[in-house]
Each structure stands twice: as structure tokens, then as C-alpha cells.
Structure 1
Amino acid sequence: MKYTLLLLLCITTLHAVAQNIQNNPGSNHGNKFEQLGTILPTPNEYRTASGAPGDKYWQQRADYNIKCKLDENKLVLTGSETITYYNNSPDKLDYLWIQLDENEHSSVNNAGYEDTAILSSDMAMAQLEKIEEQQTDNGYGDIITKLTDATGKPLNYIINKTMMRIDLDVPMKPGATIVLKIDWHYRIPERINHFAGTRGGYEYFSEDGNALFTIAQWYPRLCVYSDFQGWQNHQFTGRGEFALTFGNFTVEMTVPADHIVGATGECSNYQQVLSPTQYSRWQQAQKATEPLQIVTLADAQKAEMQKSTATKTWIFKANMVRDFAWTSSRKFIWDAMPAFVEGKKVMCMSFYGKEAYNLYSKFSTKLVAHTIKTYSHFTIPYPYPVAQSVEAANGMEYPMICFNPGRTEKDGTYSEATKNWMVMVVIHEVGHNFFPMVVNSDERQWSWMDEGLNSFCQYLTEELYDNRYATKRGPAFLITDYMKLPKSELEPIMTNSENIAQFGPNAYAKPATALNILRETVMGRQLFDFAFKKYAQRWAFKHPTPADLFRTMEDASAEDLDWFWRGWFYSIDPCDIALDSVKAFKLDATAKTKILYNDPEVNSMGMKKIDAPIVHAFEDISKIRNRTDKNIQFLTDKDTSLRDFYWKYDRGLEPYDANFSYKATPVLEDITAAEKQQFANKYLYQLSFSNKGGLVMPIIVEFTFTDGTKALNHIPAQVWRKNENAVSKVFITVKEVASIQIDPMKETADIDETNNNWPKLSAPSRFTIYREKSQAFGQTEGVSPMQKAVQKNK
């Protein structure tokens, strides 16, 4: 999913969700732990109750042979394609549905429908021009110039916004094949200024007069026809991404002769399109242990100045993929190195302009390799021969190729936020090769099935990249700000893509957090990892639904998780478990107990002069476990070339120049006399909890004893079965308890930590909360530490 879209769109619509049926709505029990039952579709011969594909599972296939030409001057792409479509379903098809995603940019045929708009006293010129453009035909979108069958006979069709229905004279019987021939062209949109946030198009660089083309959603393509919904023909509004059919591709791209092309699949004619020197470097790269530049910075800068008027045709082939995308520019530096996944060589490559050189030449290709290796460990072995990262100032994914951000300042320096953003998006977009490019879910309907699962695996990969990396999604404590929003601003994860208001938190962060909680807190790593891998194995190169995931996770682990799916995916209830009271009993009523109260750390109100290290003050459970696992070695430890300025900065090896922050003074408080009762020589504690948020979760209790030692007790979520609102537990200890805290490692996404302690702790001050909010990921202010260090050493 492209990250720029998340910053630009905010849709307010009705929420179309699966109904979260309650069996006993008037009671305090019998609801949250009931089976999902009729909420899930009935198992059948295509999809079993275990979550595995059935004996009669089927799916369609579409093969593409495409020839296209890029006109760099007129900014037009012209194409001719032959589609071979296989009806593997048991159904007779009277018509076919084709996606015309380029119509998203058309003011006539787009499916964006209508969003709200307002007038203000200050209106930007571009804003007014965009409003005016929507009232005319802006000239964008697919123009179909010919549509025939294999014999050349014209076929009837009708275009409805971003969809085209082809009416068949003779219905396709089960097992039949049809060949379609389509000629088309479209005006290439400008990605950066005109259609900001769009996936495909061009970016123009005025300083050198060149363009960078990312060609995506560019050819008419078959919709998915499936056993669970028939034709998936939801319109493309720019939000919900794609449901696509697997097939084989052969694509010929004619571009300016000095352009470098990267694309889905393998190039079959490198020797013809590359210079002898470049081709020799490509051959050397097959055995490289470091990224080897096939096109160097000097090569790219020379090409920028000497523009060719001739053309070359690049030919790429890709088998068993659901989509095809490509990029073309004379600005590209291109490097490559192999990675090996279970003995199979995968060429990891990066394409980037001089504007990204100091970041991409160092990190990109190694991140690609790290990502496919890590995802392969947690899911299935990476099945394709190449994996590519392209710097294009956005974030979007396609089979074997993705577009990412990451540009430096003109002096080659960069902020830590820029580096972290680049690391995150490269891992995320390369990771999409697994979800949904191989485990091929319907993104148009369930964005979370690819974005959420991928964000979870992204988190695992970031954690294995650098133990100090400040990940943004995955740990439970990072989702609480979203889950504490008013319920009028929330919707369940199981919501149609177009109907989500808070898209990033809902489709990415919340499902990623849920899966991490399952792994770390509910199931444990061993059970979770086996079940999650089983899901990937079962549904690789197939079309899974949410029910297939839910059922497989339970089937492979012997864990009843319906309560978890019901709470996290079908409801908007947050976790807020309160420790309401503690009753203490002990033999010696004369002993006086002191409880240590630690005030939360706060920042002063001094102005920030330079970025502090971007490191979480709190280390989540995954970081700690990963660091102590002898089987885990972090990439920055294996490859010390990745230890840049900020690797040292985060560890205090480079000084942090700041004079703000102080720590609150500890406060001591006596235990009340009422809590001192007699019971042998041991201590008895009755803890009463209330479920204020509504989401049932495990209760994790940490006791701190007067001698400074600690003990942790995990109470399973099932403790709430008989009363979903309030429960109590009794603990016997041989030591006197000084303090009690719920969820000390912030594993459950509890939205209100002020009711998690005994004795009660004060809430953070307003100033503390403000500072937490102000540390926005990707935001750089003033001089970066890297720039300061460079200036100091001059």
C-alpha cells in the first residue's frame, strides 16, 4: 500500500461490517467467548472447516502477452495485449469483467464518487484548478481502441467507471478458454504535483530536465471470479487495492534507448539492451557479496545530460504472478547482489536517482535481501527469482518490484527520521511479495488481510534488522492512542476498505498489533509461528478469506481464538483493565510497608535544538526476547557496514547535544491499616479487576516485593468467561508485596495505564503527553545530528 495515500485521504462513510452477533446481549456473560458461528461462512468442498482449501478448490487463470511503447515527450503510453483466460470454475460465464484502473484519474470515468469539500478565505490555486478540472473531461483514463476475440471478431463491451464488462456471444463453459485482444492508450499522469499520492505515473525533475516513470495499474486486466463471491467487481476509488488473478506474463516495453528499465519478472534480453560494460557488471553481480553497481552514479549523471532520441525494447517474463509493474528512467543508478533462500538464488536489486544515492547505495539492496530472508523464515520460501526496490518518493508494491521513498539533502546527509522512514517502507513494500502477491487475498474488500499481515511481518523484520530500531507498528503500546478514540471515530478491522475513516491505524497497525499480541502474549511464539506458517503454506498462490486465516490459526494450534477474533477484528472495544482494589492479609499487623511510587519521566519545556536519538524509551517484550535469543543475530551485527552515524547515535557513541529532561522524584506511601490482616506467615492478596474497555484480554500482573524482587503472573483471558465485566483473583506469596502493576510490559494495548497500578499512580502531565505527540515519525526539524557532525569535523 502506498504510504502517501494514507496522508491524503480521509473518508467518512457508513461502516459495512460483518455483524458481531451476541448470544446473550442482556447479560454480563455468554457473549464474548461464544463461537463465531454464523459470522463465518459455512465450510464447504472448496474451503474446509479447518481453514485449508478443499478437495474441489478452484481458481481462474489469466495469461498476458503485452507490447507497449512509452512516449516520453507526449507522456502517453500505448499498448496492445493478448489475454488468455481459463475458466477453471464449475460455472458458465456469460460475460467477463475487466479492471480499467487508469480511469481513476479521469474526471469522467473515475469511481472516486464524492468526498466532502469546504471553502475558506485562503484557497490555493492548485486546489481551485483541481475543482474546476473535475467539471470537464481532463483527458485521463483508458482509451480502448480495439477489442476482439482470437479471430479478430469485435466483442461488445460497456465501461462503467473503472470497470469494463465484455459480453460473450457464446458463454464460457467450465474448463473453456478464451483469447481477448485489446488495444489501448492513456495519458500518463503526474504523480507528484497533479495527482499527488497516485501509484503510477511520472515525476519530473526540473533541475536536470528528466522524468522517472512508475508504470502501475496500467493494462486492462481480469477481475477475480471466485467461489466465495463470484465476480469481484468493486470499483477502484483509489483506496481499496486489488483483487487479481494469477497467470504468466510476457511484456515488451519500448522506451528511450538511454532509459534503464526494472520490472516484474526476469529480463530475457539484457545482452541486447545493456552496454557491454553494463552487461559484464550484471554477470559479475550474480556472485557479488556486496551490492554491485551495474549502472553507476557517473553513468546516470552522463545519461541525464545526453538524452537519446532512439528507442530500445526490453522484454520481461514472469510466471505465476498476479500483476505486472515496471519503471523506466535515464536517471537510474542500478545495483544488484544475490541472496539465497533455502539454496535458491534471488537477485536483489535497487534502482535510484542521484537524489537518493547516499541512502539507497548503502541500505536498499541489503534491506531487500534481509526482508525476503526474514519473511521466508516466518512464512514460505520466497518463490521468485528477483526482488527489487525503486526509489520513487512513494510506497507501493507489485510482484518482484516496489516503489519506495528515501532522498538525502543536497549535501548527501539525511536525518534519522528520513533513514528510518526509508528502512520501514522498503521492508514493508518488499514484504508485500508474500502478502498479497503470493498469499493472494482480496485487498478491495479486506485491506487488513494484506496490509495488516504484512505490517506484522514487517515488524518482525525490523526487529531482526536492528534491536534499537524505533518501529512504528506492532508493539501493543503503540496502538493505544487509536483505540482510545471516541467510538464514533472507529470501525472494526472487518470493514470494507472504502468505508474506513482511520485507514492507517485500522488496516495496518491494529491487525499487526493483534497478531503480535497473539504471538507474544496469548499463544506464545512456538504455537503462533507454526500456525501462521501453516496459513501461508496452505494459501500460497491461492485466494484466502478472513475465515481461512482464523480457522487455520486455531486448527494448527489447538487454541480456541474465537474470543480474540471477535474482540479485535469484529468490535471496536478497547482494552482497559483496571485494578480496582487490593485486599491484603498478613500475620504481623505491626509491620509497616513502604510502597515506592515512581513518577513517569517527563521533558522540560525548553525548545528542541536538535533531534534526539529516535529510540523508544520503553523496550517492548519482542526486543528483549530477540536480544536474549542465542539463535538470533541482527543484520547490523552481521554486516557492520550498515552501522552508520545513527547506529552509533542511538547507542550514545555519538553525543546527543541537549539539556532538557528530568525525572520525577519518587514518593513513598504507607499501606493502610485495613490492608494488614492476619493469615499464617504468608501474605494473601485479593485483586479485583474491572473490564472498563469491553475487550477481554489476558491479565498480566507483576508483583514487586519489599526486598526488590519481582514475580509475574499471567491470567488467561478465559478468566472473564463467567463475568465479562468484573473478576477477582487471590494470590498467596511468601514475601510482602510493595506494589502491583497490570501489564508492565505493555503487552495488551491497555488504553488507560492510570488504573493499572496499586497503589494508584498519578497520570502523566499535560506537558508529557504533548511531547509524546510531537515526536512524529518522519519529521525533521532544524539541523540534523548528521549534518552537525559533518560540520564539526570540517
Structure 2
Amino acid sequence: MLKPTLLAAGLAALLTLPAAAQNTNSGTDKFAQLETLLPTPNAYRTASGAPGSEYWQQRADYNIRVKLDDAKQSISGDEDITYTNLSPDVLTYLWVQLDQNILDKNSITTATEVGQIQPRMSFQALDYLQRSEFDGGFKIAEVKLKGGKALPYVINHTMMRVDLPTPLRPKQAVTFSIKWAYNINDQTKINQRSGYEYFPEDKNYLYEIAQFYPRMAVYSDNQGWQHKQFLGNGEFALPFGDYRVSITAPADHVVGATGTLQNASEVLTSTQRQRLEQAKNSQKPVLIVSPLEAEQAEQKRAKGTKTWTFAAKNVRDFAWASSRKFIWDAMGIRQNGTPVMCMSYYPKEGNPLWGKYSTEVVAHTIKTYSKFTIPYQYPVAISVHGPVGGMEYPMICFNGGRPEKDGTYSADRKYGMISVIIHEVGHNFFPMIVNSDERQWSWMDEGLNTFVQYLTEQEWERNYPSRRGEPANIVAYMQTDKSLQTPIMTNSESVLQFGNNAYGKPATGLNILRETIMGRQLFDYAFKEYATRWAYKHPTPADFFRTMEDASGVDLDWFWRGWFYSVEHTDLAIEGVKWYTVDSKNPEIENARKRELINKAPQSISQQRNLQDIKKTLVDDKPELKDFYNSYDPLSTTEADKQRYQQLVKGLSPEQQQRLNAGLNFYEVSLKNRGGLTMPIIVQMTYEDGKQEIMNIPAEIWRKNNAEVTKVFITEKPIVSFVLDPFQQTADTDLSNNAYPQRAQPSRFEVFEQQQRAQPNPMQQQSALQQKEQKPVNGATSTGGTN
């Protein structure tokens, strides 16, 4: 119970309670505007965050022919690139990305990586250390101008400069060709964004192929050529264009790729084409290649090759997958009237998880992301299961999540697989459509995408166990030493704790904006506006920050400054609470209240012991020592007291008299920002009768003093406790100082044997039990799809 303090000076003094009136901010004001940090608006990018009237971007169209050598695990190909200069600048050379050179023997990535030798190391760790023995870089055979004239070029690690014979002027285009080859990496030894997986049981390979062709770099208004070296973390910055890609693979392989298949009659059987047609209007996945057909292909080796041709319009990249092990299912949906084929390719080792969930997850993701951003406009969306844990490309992505060999799986494996598919399919929106520069800012695609992934997971299943998005889940990271953190606004290659920084923290920040700072209505509108403005364009962080403010009417500079530009954390604390009630000046009321307080006051320890030890005082023994004051009651109300009160109230208006006798409670709460990160204050007040009330105080309460403030709460009923952030909305790192009176926060410790044995997953445990009863395990033999 909070103890009241009398406001002896009456109501007038209450109205002049001291607040932190002076600005005691030290250093940079957390509410200073970001104008000095953001680029100056211009005709290309406006102050509102929208593309300007003179916005432009370059274009690169490709015609690619590539051949997969299944015997040597290598690729060879040639491509024609038509590059259109839509900038106002004259270009004398072009920059091309050679991302496979990250696997070159002389890779700058390998040369600059740090590492340690451990006393005990796995063969996989040893393979990683020795990966420089693998020669996986591009072998450029020739670069030619259309017509056959050789073009001079210079390779600088993962970038190649192509020198033009004549300057490329605005609105002009140039077509040139590149011939190349490289060796494909084994994903179990060299874990990259693409590669192959070998299955010794049936001696087959599964290929997930990306960054397989020399790709044009971005030339933009805000930084010119983006030719920062590819070191591993910072992914890709790419221009849009149209693609036509012909993939020659073994005749018994099934190939899935970005875009739509152009020659189905040449590579698919009539039955497979009929199934594809059936899948367009099916309410559940239809098997195009069944498990039985895939298993038969595994056991045979067809002679010769087939060439699969795909076309894609207005995409920034192209990727593909190929294997004779592929089961293939598909299901059609419509998104704002546009038909979309949702498809999955997976080996039998992926079942039952993949057949049951993958394509359903693809469809759910397309629908949900379209609701929160823009309608999906590409014709297909594909999820492929193979060696890559999770990687995204336009219309196709590579995902992990494999059950045990007996077909069982843990809950973690199931939800991990669903989450990675949502995440990678979601990348179609960020950055494949809203085309941010991943080489510079990983958070602009990973963070925004992880946020919408969280929304999509929650619409998949009630209380879905999302890893990222909830503020409470980022607390452990925010508690780490500042020397182990970098601001979100850090280049991709310099980020520490990449997953937390590029994925978790920005996603959590957006959730805090949506739920606590802006509200869902304002946030959802502004976020959708950002996606609409920058669809099929190249946004920067400033474009995002400015659009979110412009479309919502909410000043968020303080939030971007704290959450994105600093490593401060949230730790708001209640330093103390003072309880005041108004002195009514009515002697009968005030004397009765004082008497009640005296009667409730506990006796001191000396008084308690004196009752036992002192049987009789001297005055008790000699009553003649008593006088007037031994019987005087200072809290009794006299006629003189009443008259003085009547004289006092005569000078007050009826409204003032009512306020004197309203019996209101005034609580002065002292609050401190211990973590440094500015946040709204959410206060839960619990009343004497057990009822609760939530007060949401905007972050602007800290604008004149970023470190400490006091806030007065006025209530009719007495309050027994105050709690800050009761629903953990702000990622507060220390909940022990969030309550008044203070509450102890429970924690736990584990007791375990020195060596723990791996336990079977719950499905295996249930399987063992049901085998005794000769009952099948639900779902363990499902292959998904309908034929």
C-alpha cells in the first residue's frame, strides 16, 4: 500500500508541483531532427520520401545460355547484356559483378577473414578452413561488343570494369556478351548462397544455382556505381530488366527457375502439362512430378540433355534449381486478379514436411505480404528444398528444414521450416520488388522482411512461436555490452551480431512503431505507402524514414536516431512515488483522517517492548502528576475550528469548494531513463479495489529532459501499485525497476548431468509407443499434394 503525504499548503500548492522544467540534456538532443544526417532532397528524391519528378534508374536486359555438367559439377555459359543508360550522365565504362569470385583461390574474403584453431575441430570446420583449395571463381573466356569486337576489361576481385569503345550517352543502349564458366561448390563443405548437395544413397546431385552469371552493378543518382566488393554479408544491388534464360541439364532432371517456362511441350510430358493446368484452379497442391516418378528417375540415368527456357519480365535477378530427385507440386492463387502459381520442388528426403506444408506456406506468404505491402504481380512463386539454408531470388527461393530419416520431426524443425519459407518467399517484396541496396544496408531488406514475416507467421497459426518481432525477444541482444554492438545504420560488412542487428532489431523496432508509438492504422498506411512508392525502384534509408513520417503525420526522428543510429537500450525505471491528497481545511474531515493514520501507524520496537517490561509508569502510580494535557485531545473539533473553516470557504467559489472536498488522489511518479534509449512510457496502475488502468504517454515527455522526468497522475481511487511496460512493448532490458512497490523478478537455473544424451523428438517417442500398439503415426507417411 502506498503511504499518503499531506499537501499541507492546500490546493494552490498542488497546482505548482515542481516538474523537471529545465532542459538538462547532455550531448546530442535525442529529439533533434535528422536533417543533418539525411541527404539533401532533390529532384530525384524528395523531402517527403517519394521519388522525385526527375527520378531515373538504369536497365539491364539479359539473354543467357547456360549448361550444367552433372559429371563435373560445373557450369559454362554465355550471355548477351543490353544495358540502357537512363541517367543524365555520360558513361565511359560499365561495372559488372562477379560474385562467384568470392570462391576464387585468391579471394579477398578468405584473405581478410579471421579465425582460430580449436583443440578439437570437426571435419566440416576443417573443410571450411581449407576451402581456399577449391577453385570456384569465374573463368571469363571473352567479353565482346555486339558484332564481335573484343572489349577491354579489368577484373578487380568480385567486380569487373568493361571499357566502352565510345561513351554511352543518356537514352542510349549498348549490347555486349560475356562467355564464362566456373566450378560449383559442395554446400556441405563450402556453405554459400548456392551450390550442390550429393546423396550417396542413390548417387544423385541436387543443384541450387545463383550468382551464376556476370551481373550488372547498379548505377544510381545517390552514389554512382555501387561497386563495393562482395565480401559475404552484404548481398546484392541489381538493376531491373527482362530475362530469357535457356538451361541445358541432363534429360532426366527437373528444372525450376525464375520466370515462366517457355517450352513446356519440349521438356514436360503431356501428363505433367495436364497436371500443371489442373493445379491452376486447385484449392490444394497438385503433384506435377510424384514421389514415385522422382524415385524412378533417381534410379535411372537418361542419356542426353534437355534445354529448359524461362522468361521473366522486370526482375532484378535470376536463379534456378535442377535435379532428377525433385518432387514437384503446384497450386494456383489469384492476387488482385493476377494469377500466381505457387510451387515447390523437393527431394523425397524432405517429406512429409515439404509435401504437407511448403506450397501452402508459399501461397499464404504471397497473400499476406500483398495485404501489408503491394499486390504480388509476378506469375510464379517457388520454394526449393536443398542444401542452402535459406536464400532468395525473384520468384524462387532455396530453403532448409529436413525431417529425420524416419519421417518424424521436432516442433522446432517444423516451425523453423515454415518460417524460413515465409522469410525467403517474402523477400520477393523486399528487396526483389522494393529494390533496396543490400550491399550497403542489409537491414533494408532483412529487417523489413523479418517484420512482415512476423505478421505472416501470426496469421498462419494462433500464438505462432516467432523468433523475431516481439520486443521481449530482442532484450538479450540489447543487454549485451555496447562494444559488441553496432548501430543498425552500419554497412553490411561491418555489422557485429549480424542476425540480431540486420534482422531482429529493425523488425522489432517496426513492431514497436506499429503497436506502441504510431498505432496499427497509421503505421500500416505509411508502410504500405513506402512499398507503393518504391516498388520496382531503388529506395534508400532516407526514403523509408521520410515516407513513414510523411504518410503518418508522426515525427519519428527521435526514434530513428535512437533505434537505428545508436546502440543505446531501453531501461525506464520508477525512481519513486509520492502520494498526495488535498487538505480540505474542514477540521472534522482532516482531524478524523489524521486520527485514522495515527491508529494505523505501527508502534516502534521500543514501544512494543516497553509494554512488556514497564508494568507501570510513574504517572500511572501517581495520578496527581497528571494535568490538562493528559486528557487533552488535539484532534477534537472545537466550535472555534468550525468558525474558522466557515470563514475560509466563504472566499471560495462553489467550484473551488467542490474541488477541496472531492477526495482526489495525486501521485507524483519520478521516472528515469537509465538505458538512454527514448521510448514511450506505458504505465499500469492497480487500484485498491483490484481494477487496473493503462496510461500510454508518448515519448515526447522526454523532449526537455532526456534523462529524468516526473509525472502526476490524478485518480478518484487510491492506487496500490505502478508498473511500467506491463506487456513488454518496448524491449525494456531491466524489469526489476519497472514496479513500485518493487517486485522481485523470477529467474531459473538448470541442473543436469555432465554428459547429456540426445533425446528422441516427440513424434519419435509417440511412434515408439504406437508401434507397440500397432497404430500409425499421424502425418509421418504423408507426401503431400494430389495427383
Q: TM-score, normalised by structure 1?
A: 0.83
1:12-23 correspondence to structure 2 within 5 Å? none
SS in 2 for 1:374: helix
Q: Which range is displaced more, 447-456 or 164-173?
A: 164-173
CA apart distance, 1:784 = 1.6
Q: Take 1:125 and 1:334, find their aligned partners in 2: how far apart are those partners?
A: 34
1:211-290 correspondence to structure 2 within 5 Å? 211-290=205-284
SS in 2 for 1:261: strand
- Inter-CA distance 468–121: structure 2 relative to 1 (3 Å threshold): closer
Return the match for 1:697 from 679, 689, 709: 679
SS in 2 for 1:767: coil
**Is contact 1:586-1:679 (8 Å) kept?**
no
1:600 alignment partner in structure 2: none
1:512-531 correspondence to structure 2 within 5 Å? 512-531=507-526
Q: Take 1:218 and 1:746, find their aligned partners in 2: how far apart are those partners?
A: 45
1:474 aligns with 2:472: no
1:664 alignment partner in structure 2: none
| Alignment-mate amino acid for residue 168 of structure 1 | L
1:785 aligns with 2:762: yes
1:201-216 correspondence to structure 2 within 5 Å? 201-216=195-210
Q: Take 2:261 and 2:95, find their aligned partners in 1: how far apart are those partners?
A: 30
SS in 2 for 1:79: strand
2:116 alignment partner in structure 1: 118
**Is contact 2:23-2:704 (8 Å) kept?**
no
- Inter-CA distance 49–786: structure 2 relative to 1 (3 Å threshold): same
1:368 alignment partner in structure 2: 362
2:503 alignment partner in structure 1: 508
Q: Take 2:555 and 2:252, find their aligned partners in 1: how far apart are those partners?
A: 59
Q: Take 2:136 and 2:28, find their aligned partners in 1: how far apart are those partners?
A: 55
1:18 alignment partner in structure 2: none
1:706-785 correspondence to structure 2 within 5 Å? 706-767=688-749, 782-785=759-762
| Alignment-mate amino acid for residue 295 of structure 1 | V
Q: TM-score, normalised by structure 2?
A: 0.83
- Inter-CA distance 446–132: structure 2 relative to 1 (3 Å threshold): closer
1:386 aligns with 2:363: no
1:395 aligns with 2:390: yes
SS in 2 for 1:556: helix
CA apart distance, 1:513 = 0.5
SS in 2 for 1:479: helix
CA apart distance, 1:35 = 0.5
Deviations 1:165-224 (A, max 9, x none): 1111211111111001111110111112x202x111111011111111001011001000
Return the match for 1:418 from 404, 413, 416: 413
Deviations 1:661-718 (A, max 9, x none): xxxxxxxxxxxxxxxxx98522221111000000110000001112221100011000
1:35-434 correspondence to structure 2 within 5 Å? 35-124=33-122, 127-128=125-126, 131=129, 134=132, 138-192=134-188, 194-196=189-191, 198-393=192-387, 394-434=389-429
CA apart distance, 1:780 = 11
Q: Take 2:123 and 2:159, find their aligned partners in 1: how far apart are those partners?
A: 32
SS in 2 for 1:78: strand
SS in 1 for 2:514: helix
| Alignment-mate amino acid for residue 365 of structure 2 | T
**Is contact 1:376-1:382 (8 Å) kept?**
yes
**Is contact 2:142-2:179 (8 Å) kept?**
yes
- Inter-CA distance 493–133: structure 2 relative to 1 (3 Å threshold): closer
Q: Who wins on radius of gyration, i.e. which is larger?
A: 2
SS in 2 for 1:437: coil
Q: Take 2:705 and 2:27, find their aligned partners in 1: how far apart are those partners?
A: 5
| Alignment-mate amino acid for residue 148 of structure 1 | K
**Is contact 1:258-1:308 (8 Å) kept?**
yes
Q: Take 2:74 and 2:26, find their aligned partners in 1: how far apart are those partners?
A: 63
Deviations 1:293-329 (A, max 9, x none): 0000101111110121221000000000000000000
- Inter-CA distance 29–689: structure 2 relative to 1 (3 Å threshold): farther
**Is contact 1:87-1:175 (8 Å) kept?**
yes
**Is contact 2:281-2:333 (8 Å) kept?**
no
Q: Take 2:363 and 2:446, find their aligned partners in 1: how far apart are those partners?
A: 20
**Is contact 2:131-2:190 (8 Å) kept?**
no
1:651 alignment partner in structure 2: none
SS in 2 for 1:389: strand
Q: Take 1:266 and 1:119, find their aligned partners in 2: how far apart are those partners?
A: 48
- Inter-CA distance 129–709: structure 2 relative to 1 (3 Å threshold): closer
| Alignment-mate amino acid for residue 207 of structure 2 | F
Q: Take 1:25 and 1:481, find their aligned partners in 2: how far apart are those partners?
A: 32
1:560 aligns with 2:588: no
**Is contact 1:98-1:220 (8 Å) kept?**
yes
| Alignment-mate amino acid for residue 782 of structure 1 | Q
**Is contact 2:25-2:707 (8 Å) kept?**
no
Q: Take 2:711 and 2:357, find their aligned partners in 1: how far apart are those partners?
A: 51
Deviations 1:85-126 (A, max 9, x none): 000011111111100111111122444441222334434555
CA apart distance, 1:25 = 12
CA apart distance, 1:764 = 3.0
Deviations 1:261-298 (A, max 9, x none): 11000001112101222122111111111100000010
Q: Take 2:28 and 2:149, find their aligned partners in 1: how far apart are those partners?
A: 62
CA apart distance, 1:357 = 1.4
SS in 2 for 1:793: helix
Show structure 1 runs of 5+ residues with no match: 1-23, 595-677, 772-778
| Alignment-mate amino acid for residue 491 of structure 1 | T
SS in 2 for 1:152: coil
Identity %, equivalent residues:
54
The total of aligned residue pairs comes to 676
1:571-650 correspondence to structure 2 within 5 Å? 571-586=566-581, 588=593, 590=596
**Is contact 2:24-2:705 (8 Å) kept?**
no
Deviations 1:397-416 (A, max 9, x none): 00000011121112211110
Q: Take 2:376 and 2:715, find their aligned partners in 1: how far apart are those partners?
A: 50
Q: Take 1:458 and 1:679, find their aligned partners in 2: how far apart are those partners?
A: 55
**Is contact 2:383-2:425 (8 Å) kept?**
yes
Q: Take 2:241 and 2:706, find their aligned partners in 1: how far apart are those partners?
A: 49
| Alignment-mate amino acid for residue 178 of structure 2 | I
| Alignment-mate amino acid for residue 412 of structure 1 | G
Deviations 1:124-161 (A, max 9, x none): 55555654563x6x422100111100010000011111
| Alignment-mate amino acid for residue 470 of structure 2 | P
Q: Take 2:760 and 2:327, find their aligned partners in 1: how far apart are those partners?
A: 28
- Inter-CA distance 593–508: structure 2 relative to 1 (3 Å threshold): farther
- Inter-CA distance 337–413: structure 2 relative to 1 (3 Å threshold): same
**Is contact 1:35-1:562 (8 Å) kept?**
yes
Q: Take 2:29 and 2:600, find their aligned partners in 1: how far apart are those partners?
A: 42
1:654 alignment partner in structure 2: none
